[in-house]
Amino acid sequence: MSNKVIGTSVPRWDAWSKVCGKADYTADIPVKNMLYGKIVRATIAHGRVLSLDTQAALAVPGVLKVLTPADLPRVKHATAGHPYTLDRSGDVYDKNILTEDVRLYGDEIAAVIAETQLAADIAAQKITAVYEEYPIYLTAQEAMTEGAREIHEGTKGNILADTTAKVGNVEEGFALADYVFEDEHRTQVVQHCHMENQTATAFQSADGRWTCISSTQIPHICRRILGEALDMPWSSFRVIKPFIGGGFGNKQDVTIEPLVVAMSIAMGGRPVRLELEREEVLAYTRVRHAIHYRSKVGVSKDGKITAWQVDAVSKTGGYASHGHSVAAKGGGILCTLYEIPHMSFRSRTVLTNTGNAGAMRGYGVPQITFAIEAMTDKICKELQLDPFEFRLANFKKEGAPHPLNGIPMVTNKVADCLTLGRQRFGWDAKMADSGAKGGSVRRGVGVAAFSYATGVYPYSLEIAGCRLTLNQDGTVKMLVGATEIGQGIDTGLAQIAAETLGIPAEMVYAEETTDTDIAPFDTGAYASRQIYVTGVAVAKAAEELKDKICRAAGKFYEIPHSAADVEDAFVINSVTGERVASLGDLALRTYYDKARAQTLTAEVSHNCHDNSYPMGVTFAEVDVDTQTGVVTVRSILNAHDSGVIINPLLAKGQVEGGMGMAISYALGEDLFYDPKTGEPLNNNLLDYKMPTCMDTPELDCMFVEPEDPFGPFGAKGLGEPPICSPAAAIRNAVCHALGFEINALPLTPGKVFAAIQNNRGGGADV
């Protein structure tokens, strides 16, 4: 039977309410008797607070309290939204809610609670600190220097982790090579710039526990981290996620919730709201890791990769946050994109006195893809190989096992993405049309492929849950712990439920909030996991509910339950095809039959032991003005294999959003720190340049849709893939236009212009 709901562009259920301003985000939710918090931040990047003067702050009218580290539990917690491990090996517990030990400019050293936001803001500015200052390390290279002070005591050389992922024996691989290529690539620090800043409100609930309404991607994880950070039983907390204005990984760290709950505790349970300003979000929440790659690739005469060695140094800022996992992920990406018989992928994650890096859409993959596909481009150019043929010859084959974890990559249509995308993009015509275009403009085309994964299995726990309830009129209420953060996951999950149940998607009601007291356990929105992991939980719950519906049909109608089925919201006899009753009629009986009533619900907790691999390719055509260094993307196409697409319109939205972020990553965004003080220099949206819609070219996308056997209805992850390859493709197109390589992002006019002067572009230390 063909799908009726899956693959259709069901409008997202919350679209109209967002357009009409009816959707309440955290700061929109009215709270009585509320107080306001403000964080007091260090004005040095490395050192120790010797004393704090809070007198002037406390004298500000409306100020009720100033919290200092001494007022809070001394226990350290990990802020990363990882799923947790029973042996607690998964995270670095290095963060106090407030600290005397300053590790980055803006570190949280105190907090003000006041009756108005203005009073809190004014008071925070009046708090002065006396510091003992230490040398600051703004690059990983500086931090790793012999004799550098340990930013966290005990972290030798400030290296949080130093690991090497290996396939085969890279020395043997290079021995087999006819050609060896080496180069270095660098990426910059960028920030997520979600529309809604981090905001949370905490208060004591009527049951004496602590409720935190928060703009978080990970309510259930947030609850756990509150318990860890505040050293209280985890169920002391209830985290409620309302509508969210984006997260992109930044809200996969728990950055403000422990403090705002601590504030409410300090105020005897009175509600306190803590809402970061854009300046704070840009500089003091999380950023994307800047990574420096040194790559060496061996290629045989017949155009096959024989060995690939990478040495990656990743700058993680003042705290571990997601720790080493972002940098380390690159190894798995490299060896699943290409068939590499001998690989060595060393990665080091280094603490520095800069903004804390954490999860950001793509989780290290835009960086490694930039390095991989720049190397691929170099190889093809230097050996005069066709970039399509070279890639097709070296792509990892469909069905091959993941070299590092052994899970077969059952579906992998990267080759189709490349081939079909080439046609759709009109690559050959564009290639023919490239070169000097008159005046100072040169035109080029570039292509880049990427590999990704869905969720975190087998490296971490994958678990999701769903509860479905059949309403009296045959509609269905869906509760999931997955987190709608603007991406439309609720709509996709509702489609899965509807398809499974045999009803239209409009008959499934998603829940507006994710409430840890109510929502089935699910680790949340990250790793492009929700359709894939939660989707299976939803499908399983829907199967269970449908089975119960069919059994109820057997009870209430003259039909064996084994013959009952549901189609178009009618109970049908699947043998005769006849409609037996509307689902609403059956539902009513399950509620109100005096002798046999039993409301139908189904709840499933799904422990996922699968992984599947979304793949894709970006094609880009650019103009480079050699007099100004300005790069203009003329056209760009993302071709994705994310398995079966549940909702084409929402998928297109995801891809276009990711491409937009990626173009900006390629061409403009860069977060700077004052080299002397470590103070963020452009942490505002005037100086940190985000593209507007005027800056964004037409975005094109296409989907190759193999039916993945593990994902629900054949789907694989799509949230992060769109951002992985555009920067690399644009870089390749720019290099094609210019005829030489630029090996650092972003490709700002200044950098491009300087490169034109040198016939080569590099970048500064990360």
CB of 757 to its own copies, least distance (A): 53
| Contact pattern from residue 261 through residue 300 relative to its own copies, giving x for each residue in contact according to CB under 8 A and a dash for the rest | --------x-------------------------------
Shortest Cβ distance from residue 454 to its own copies (Å)? Answer: 16
Q: Which of 233, 438, 439, 577 binds its own copies (CB under 8 A)?
A: 233
* Burial 136-169, CB ≥16 within 10 A → b, else e: bbbbbbbbbeeebeebbeebebbbbbeebbbbbe
Identity of the residue, 301 or 594, whose beta carbon is nearer to its own copies in the bound complex: 594
Contacts with its own copies in 125-164 (CB under 8 A)? none
Options 83-91, 132-140, 652-660, 717-725: segment touching its own copies (CB under 8 A): 83-91
* CA–CA gap between residue 366 and residue 725 (Å, rounded): 6
Residue with smaller CB distance to its own copies, 267 or 375: 267
Residues in Cβ contact with 90 at an 8 Å cutoff, skipping those fewer than 6 apart = 82, 83, 84, 460
- Distance, in Å, from the CA atom of 591 to the CA atom of 579, rounded to the nearest integer, reads 21
Site for its own copies in 614-633 (CB under 8 A): none
**Residue 81 binds its own copies, judged by CB under 8 A:** no
Q: Which stretch binds its own copies (CB under 8 A): 3-11, 40-48, 302-310, 514-522?
A: 514-522
**CB closer to its own copies out of 422 and 548:** 548
What is the closest distance, in whole angstroms, from the C-beta atom of residue 592 to its own copies in the complex? 5
Nearer to its own copies, 249 or 465 (CB): 465
Kind and range of the H or E run holding 186: strand 179-186
For the chain, report the end-to-end CA distance as a whole number of angstroms. 54
Q: Is 234 in the site for its own copies (CB under 8 A)?
A: yes
**Cα dihedral: 58, 59, 63, 67 (round 10):** 0
Cβ of residue 418: shortest distance to its own copies, in angstroms?
A: 35
Q: Contact between 184 and its own copies (CB under 8 A)?
A: no
Extract the tokens encoding 568: 């178009």
Among 433, 568, 593, 687, binds its own copies (CB under 8 A): 593
Nearer to its own copies, 385 or 461 (CB): 461
Interaction pattern, residues 198-217, with its own copies; x per rule: CB under 8 A: ------xxxxxx--------
Region near its own copies per CB under 8 A, out of 363-371, 386-394, 583-591, 692-700: 583-591
Q: Do residues 700 and 635 touch, judged by C-beta distance below 8 A?
A: yes
Measured CA to CA, the distance from residue 135 to residue 144 in angstroms comes to 13
Between 277 and 511, name the residue whose CB sits nearer to its own copies.
511
Amino acid at 431: M
CA gap 226, 224 in Å, rounded: 5
Residue 381's CB is within 10 A of a number of other CB atoms, namely 16
CA distance 396 to 399: 9
For residues 403 and 336, the answer to whether their CB atoms sit within 8 Å is yes
Q: Which amino acid is at 45?
A: A
Torsional class of 280: left (φ above 0), alpha (ψ -120 to 50), beta (otherwise): alpha
Cis bond leading into 271, ω under 30°?
no
Q: Compare residues 84 and 740 and give the one whose CB is closer to its own copies.
A: 84
Single out the residue of 48, 166, 437, 477 in contact with its own copies (rule: CB under 8 A).
Answer: 477
| Chosen residue from 239, 479, 701, 738 binding its own copies by CB under 8 A | 479
Residues near its own copies (CB under 8 A) are 13-14, 16-18, 22-24, 28, 30-32, 83-86, 204-209, 224, 227, 233-235, 243, 269, 458, 460-461, 463, 465, 467, 471-473, 475, 477, 479, 509-512, 517-518, 520-521, 588-589, 591-601, 603, 605, 607, 609
